[in-house]
């Protein structure tokens, strides 16, 4: 468990909600190629999902969602016994309801991880996104999001090292342990409303921005809570330079008296041939609330390749 408070925009979390499957380990068998093949298939599926998410119809702001209720759910579980006893469980669900110019999306994701009977992760994500189209460009939205960490009142080795440079959390003093728990978020929630505008709304160039105001709620591992007015700003940009190259940039910011949280995901996607595609991404995550020895900004460079013949 890593101490963090992150803003995940409505569209961003909706695109991430699908729960991954767990592939069989390549060491499970000596001669059966399926154990490795399963992992290769899963890896290719994960990479392909990154391309599909980048080119998602919701980026255009007015996708052809069918009338009525639609959605799906997924479940992934893996368990291991022997030298190590581990369990991993992911449950995800997505529901969409469209009635004329009003579209609603509800997403849910639960992640549970256990290692040698010690819980390593107990996370629950939920988000609601409602959009009312006044015309082709102008719309109003309401969004609600909540992230819950069931291990906020416990201290991990990772947190002990991040805060105080102590490799084993059992070596922390009571004061150090209390400080980590006091700064670990147990629940991060926000509900807000506001307007949105589609600056460009073409298949080759799409850019929409939305700004809103609402209530931000933070609860920490020691029971302390903060409730205050928060402001959210989101931007979704898509540019198809040509049929084989497109650029995306998703930006989300949530500001309140407690902290400023900003995510920016820049991606360049290349379809070199029908069989070969690549994506280069750069994700920056700024969190003003990070404490201890942690940097306030995390940057991640990613390179994904898809090749088939």
Summarize pLDDT for 175-218 with one digit per residue, the tens: 888 887 877 778 888 899 999 999 988 878 889 899 999 998 88
Which residues, at least 6 apart from 81, have a Cβ–Cβ distance to it below 8 Å? none
pLDDT at 16: 33
pLDDT at 201: 83
What is d(CA 304, CA 271) in angstroms, rounded to the nearest whole number?
12
In a domain, 260, yes or no: yes
What is d(CA 281, CA 263) in angstroms, rounded to the nearest whole number?
13
Question: What's the token pair of residue 277?
Answer: 């595609």
What is d(CA 250, CA 11) in angstroms, rounded to the nearest whole number?
9
Give the domain extent around 163.
10-67+154-307
In a domain, 234, yes or no: yes
Band (pLDDT 50/70/90 cuts) for residue 28 is very low
In a domain, 103, yes or no: no
In a domain, 240, yes or no: yes
**pLDDT value at 64 more than 70:** no
What is d(CA 130, CA 188) in angstroms, rounded to the nearest whole number?
20
In a domain, 26, yes or no: yes
In a domain, 81, yes or no: no
Query: pLDDT above 70 covers what percent of the chain?
Result: 73
In a domain, 94, yes or no: no
Strand 225-242 relative to strand 68-80, pairing:
unpaired
Model pLDDT for residues 2-12, shown as the tens digit of each residue:
333 333 333 33
CA angle 34, 40, 44 (to 5 degrees): 140
What is d(CA 4, CA 285) in angstroms, rounded to the nearest whole number?
10
Number of separate domains in the chain: 1
**pLDDT value at 66 more than 90:** no
Torsion angle of the four alpha carbons 113, 114, 120, 125, in this order, in degrees rounded to the nearest 10: 30
What is d(CA 172, CA 108) in angstroms, rounded to the nearest whole number?
35
In a domain, 208, yes or no: yes
- Quote the pTM value: 0.64
pLDDT at 18: 34
């Amino acid at each position: 468990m890593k101490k963090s408070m992150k803003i995940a925009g409505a569209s961003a979390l909706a695109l991430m909600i699908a729960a991954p499957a767990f592939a069989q380990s390549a060491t499970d068998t000596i001669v059966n190629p399926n154990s490795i093949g399963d992992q290769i298939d899963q890896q290719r599926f994960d990479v392909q999902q990154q391309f599909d998410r980048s080119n998602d119809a919701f980026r255009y702001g007015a996708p052809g969602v069918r009338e009525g209720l639609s959605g799906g759910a997924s479940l992934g579980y893996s368990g291991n016994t022997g030298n190590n006893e581990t369990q991993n469980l992911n449950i995800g669900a997505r529901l969409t309801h469209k009635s004329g110019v009003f579209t609603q999306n509800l997403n849910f994701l639960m992640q549970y991880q256990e290692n040698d009977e010690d819980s390593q992760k107990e996370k629950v994500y939920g988000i609601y996104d409602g959009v009312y189209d006044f015309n082709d460009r102008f719309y109003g939205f309401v969004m609600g999001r909540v992230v819950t960490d069931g291990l906020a009142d416990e201290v991990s080795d990772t947190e002990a090292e991040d805060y105080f440079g102590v490799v084993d959390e059992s070596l922390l003093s009571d004061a150090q342990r209390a400080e980590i728990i006091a700064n670990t978020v147990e629940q991060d929630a926000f509900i807000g409303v506001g307007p949105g505008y589609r600056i460009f709304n073409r298949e080759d160039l799409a850019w929409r921005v939305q700004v809103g105001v609402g209530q931000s709620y933070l609860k920490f591992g020691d029971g302390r809570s903060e409730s205050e007015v928060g402001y959210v700003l989101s931007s979704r940009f898509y540019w198809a330079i040509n049929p084989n190259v497109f650029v995306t940039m998703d930006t989300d910011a949530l500001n309140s008296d407690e902290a400023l949280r900003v995510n920016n995901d820049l991606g360049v996607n290349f379809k070199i041939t029908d069989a070969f595609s690549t994506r280069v991404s750069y994700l920056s995550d700024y969190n003003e609330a990070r404490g201890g020895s942690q940097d306030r900004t995390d940057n991640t460079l990613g390179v994904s390749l898809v090749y088939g013949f």
